Amino acid sequence: MTRNWLSRFPAACGLFYVIIGIVVVGDGGGDNAPTSSSSGEAIAAYAAAHPVGPFTGFGEIAALLLLAVFVAALYAVLIRAESANGAAVVVLIGGILSVAIKLASLPAVFALHSGGQATDPAVARAMMQIGDYAFQITLFTQALFLSAVAIGGLVSGAIPRWLAATGGVLAVALVVSAPVFGIQGFNPIELFWLAWVAVASVTLTIWRTAPGPVRPREAIAAAT
């Protein structure tokens, strides 16, 4: 039983990513949080008053690493289906790129919020834009990931086809929403991304691939 649950843990990591991400990020600072269109002075003042604590910093890193494990689990499911091998590779690339880009932007964000004093306004604005542009880019890498999931899942049936189809719809929505909302640090479609990952994680955790056809007794006897 323990071994069975351990084998399902990678798929469950997607749900943990969503939970930790929501708890850590919260409302993103609320209505008072600056955006990329705010002045450098406003960004620097807000960052000085809202330092990143260890829980928030390590929590965000842990959430992204859990997402990477979930991506690997989904890749493992798709790669077992011969007709989805190509899509599985793109799933892995798109998912890991999403994690890597976000991780690469965190040092600038942490540096901005951990100085304990107001940063130079121009530097503060540049640091914040690094995080915002990284978020914007991940909309496209997430769309690449979901597109591959949709194609691989629909072609092979390795995952429930309704899950694959909704992933495809969400991929289009992410790409379309990117220029609409710009680099504001928040895109409401991203909430649907979190919801999809949570549902996919729970589904794959309990998902059992259909057993192969039972071989007739005569065929078994002939094989032996």
Short-list 53, 70, 138, 72, CA closest to 104: 138
Total domain count for the chain?
1
Distance CA(112)–CA(36), nearest Å, equals 14
CB-based contacts of 38: which residues, under 8 Å, 6+ apart?
Answer: 125
CB-based contacts of 77: which residues, under 8 Å, 6+ apart?
Answer: 11, 158, 159, 204, 207
Q: Is residue 81 part of a domain?
A: yes
pTM of the model: 0.83
Q: Is residue 151 part of a domain?
A: yes
Short-list 207, 200, 209, CA closest to 71: 200
* Range of the structural domain that residue 19 is part of: 7-25+36-207
Q: Is residue 51 part of a domain?
A: yes
Distance CA(87)–CA(108), nearest Å, equals 33
| Residue 93 predicted with pLDDT over 90 | yes
Q: Predicted confidence band at 211 (pLDDT cuts at 50, 70, 90)? A: very low
134-193: per-residue pLDDT in tens?
A: 989 999 999 999 999 999 999 998 999 999 999 999 999 999 998 887 766 578 898 999
